[in-house]
Structure 1
């Protein structure tokens, strides 16, 4: 793709109707230019005959006309409009679609239950590093659950209940948290989940998408004073979900409406959602519950782009793709980055062959490749304080495929300058790592820093590279394509970083090949 393009997605759900306008840049990174969500709650306009009433159709038309006007102010390459459970369950669905197209000119694609589950899972496997998991997408009128393995859906099912329907079935408008309602809802959910034989213990996580799971994860972040921003791939255990449920049920409706992290329009439906997630965790004995901030809309967007530009978004190498797009976005010198990474891998392999670090080497290998590619990325903002900027950028960016813990590891590597700054940056996250793990990360940072000194001119090529043991010290022999004047000066200043890794003095023997 040679220029930026704008694509609009309209998502008509049972609870909300949303317009998102995405802009894709040359590196296929998409950002939101516009995101408008209206809590229309179309589900409440279904009559006894299961038809959407005239009032409901009128509300939908008002929203669609508004979205049409907004979308026309952008140079759109494509508009994708979809509807899910509420229209799917309406007996007059075809009539609704025809009226909307006639009055607004917008063609709505009615997604089947399987298609709705498919697009959510499509986005999940392209933005996380999980190749096997359960997924749950809880909307207003339905709940889609899948089990996927090797990135492909094995089973999927759409339950005919969502947060709005559970509220209508079991909860009083003015008393959303009474004990009887909680017990009834929990009993109902257990029966529903137990009806599917493939919902069983596989020792895999549950990955959730949608507004309810986002709100619960956000509230839990605030409850625990989570030290970094970014909700993508936020992890919770069953106890954490029970803690948020305890909080929600302890508050009055007005208190829920003003709770930090909870959208006001979800105050009356957050408890049914929380109960659902706990019930599913108990059914499949999931070790953790993970929120993914990419769902149906992003799945539709990615598939549309992939049809025109095949394999743009792939479930394979999610981390590597995420790193490369980050490099492109912040205009890092790709040539310099590749040279540095090559040098790091050469030296790491030499250390491994000489068995200088034993088990530690495997820990280093997992970190250094990504870290060397993003080393001092913060120089894009300011060269003088690039370590600070590098750490902040990576610690507070949603990197697809990376957990929050992995993001901090990467931020510590990419910002590595010295032990003092390392200790400063890691201080808020020290409880996330063992002392041994922090040692590995720091050594990996030292290795990258030393190799950057061997990459000072970028054009000088290493012809031969070896480490030789001289009993009381090591000789690092480096043969270059031409006289390594700049590399010799810089590497000798930074060789203490290599000495820290192999626990012995190092003499660098520079030769022109």
Structure 2
């Protein structure tokens, strides 16, 4: 009898300055993980800090029922551990220790008061394990603090936590009645940010690095920008922005009223007031640091805490972001399918090398490898029409390690062999804002390679032992060696060869060689 995989679950609670969140993760001993449940409640704890700097326990008590229900949710999902952390609002309160003791006593949850540097540390882990990036700055604008982290060669170099965020700066400088900010308020906050940044030389010593943004402010800016452009991909993770994109919101948002901002497409009504100080902080630091561009991360602190729980402190950074993501995607697949996908990937690689693409080899190899391993991911939804499910999953769920263009390329290469094929209109029109002019040809050529490789193992039993492929000009000699009966494969290979000939402008001489058992 097949041994059942052991599954483990953890609940990560983040008691932030603007909101309180719970994420329940599940992982298995075979590798991979998934998010089972997310809960969020608005808190705005930074707004209840008195002028004397303390948090009245009576005001804090409103979050006790929320934390208790989060604990109930965690129990319902049978988590083995709850890791609960509190960040800037409670950390910066003069009675922060008393607040933590009160919450521990009232909820029965052990809550850790996270130092600012550790908040930046976990945010860094959440970024580098989900975005394939070597060097950069990370900025995490929360409700009551802003963490700035420098990383080089995927290692954290420096972190600083500033005691200003979107909520507490809105309380300090914002207009509660109208929501409009006058020029003097904007300038005061900007100067406060600059004065703090200038105390840390490393913040301005590495110009032209990307700024990776975490938190609600940068995500809100990204969503507004996507809606403004009618962006074709439903993903915010790894979305990029240029300096002028945030300049626009820096110039436009402060003078608007809350009611006007609530009508902006892509901006949550609950963020219509605090978006202004958030954008001022973001824009000011970006300009001061002379960063090259923005990269939005959909992951951060909570993900970093999860990775430490799953992988341990000594091995918390994954070696290869994309490979780890692929492993997570294959997690839970039947073993015959996993063997099939690995074999299809090997065959597609051999075919591609034999065809001799030349330019952009590295990029194409990465895209083809990913598409080969994920082309059946849609079967997680259902077997029938799995190709359309695959396209849906790949274009709506971020694939860590891929940028948006690579994501679309992988999605359409993966479904090239589907019954309806790829319609030119869909590629050239639906994703024209993401793809390059020659990407349609790239999709068809790599898709034809994947289709042929998949045809060689349509039974998912690996009857093809090996292949020998040699290209001489337009002639492509392909000998397929089978170690067992392969009638299903023979038919599919013949069909797939026609597409390969068309897309690569080659003449295929196909020989299927059956190795007799003696």
TM-score > 0.5, shorter chain as reference? yes
Of 129, 138, 161, which residue of structure 2 is paired with 1:158? 161
- Alignment gaps of 5+ in structure 1: none
1:293 aligns with 2:294: no
Verify: 1:340 aligned to 2:340, yes or no.
Answer: no
Shift of 1:290: 1.8
Match of 1:31 in 2: 35
Q: Deviations over 1:163-222 (max 9, x none)?
A: 123223322222433233223322332333333221234422111111222222222222
When residues 184 and 330 of structure 1 are mapped into structure 2, their CA distance, relative to the original with a 3 A threshold, is farther
Alignment of 1:421 onto 2:425: no
* Aligned equivalent of 2:445: 443
Judged with a 3 Å threshold, the aligned counterparts in structure 2 of structure 1 residues 24 and 37 are, in CA distance, closer, same or farther, namely: farther
Secondary structure at the counterpart of residue 40 of structure 2: strand
Change (3 A) 1:44 1:385: closer
Q: Structure 1 residues 281 and 447, CA, compared in 2 at 3 Å: closer, same or farther?
A: same
Query: 1:319, 1:401 within 8 Å by CA — same for their partners in 2?
Result: yes
Equivalent positions of 1:271-282 (< 5 A) are 271-282=276-287
1:349 CA drift (Å): 2.4
Distance across 1 between alignment mates of 2:222 and 2:366: 28
Residue 472 (structure 1) shift: 6.8
Rate the CA distance shift 1:373–1:444 in 2: closer, same or farther, 3 A. Answer: same
* Structure 1 residue 329 displacement after superposition: 5.3
2-side partners of 1:4 and 1:338: how far apart?
24
1:35 counterpart SS class = strand
Task: Report the Cα distance in structure 2 between the residues aligned to 1:358 and 1:223, rounded to whole angstroms.
Answer: 38
Structure 2: unaligned runs, 5 residues or longer: none
1:88 corresponds to 2:91: yes
Q: Which moved more, 1:327-336 or 1:316-325?
A: 327-336
Contact 1:386–1:415 (CA under 8 A) maintained in structure 2: no
- Residues matched between the structures, number: 505
**Contact 1:378/1:386 (<8 A) preserved:** yes
Distance 2:245 2:474 in 1: 53
Equivalence for 1:143: 146
**1:363/1:440 contact within 8 Å kept:** no
Q: 1:502 to 1:214 in 2, by over 3 A?
A: closer
Counterpart of 1:390 in structure 2 is 390
Aligned to 2:129: 126
Q: CA deviation at 1:363?
A: 4.7
> Map of 1:190-229 to 2, 5 A cutoff?
190-200=194-204, 201-229=206-234
How far residue 226 of structure 1 moved from its aligned partner, in angstroms, is 1.6
Residue number in structure 2 paired with 1:432: 434
Q: Deviation at 1:35?
A: 0.3
User: TM-score if structure 2 supplies the norm length?
Assistant: 0.88
SS of residue in 2 equivalent to 1:442 = helix
Residue 328 (structure 1) aligned with residue 340 (structure 2): no
Residue range with higher mean Cα deviation, 69-78 or 342-351 = 69-78
Q: Distance in 1 between matches of 2:226 and 2:503?
A: 37
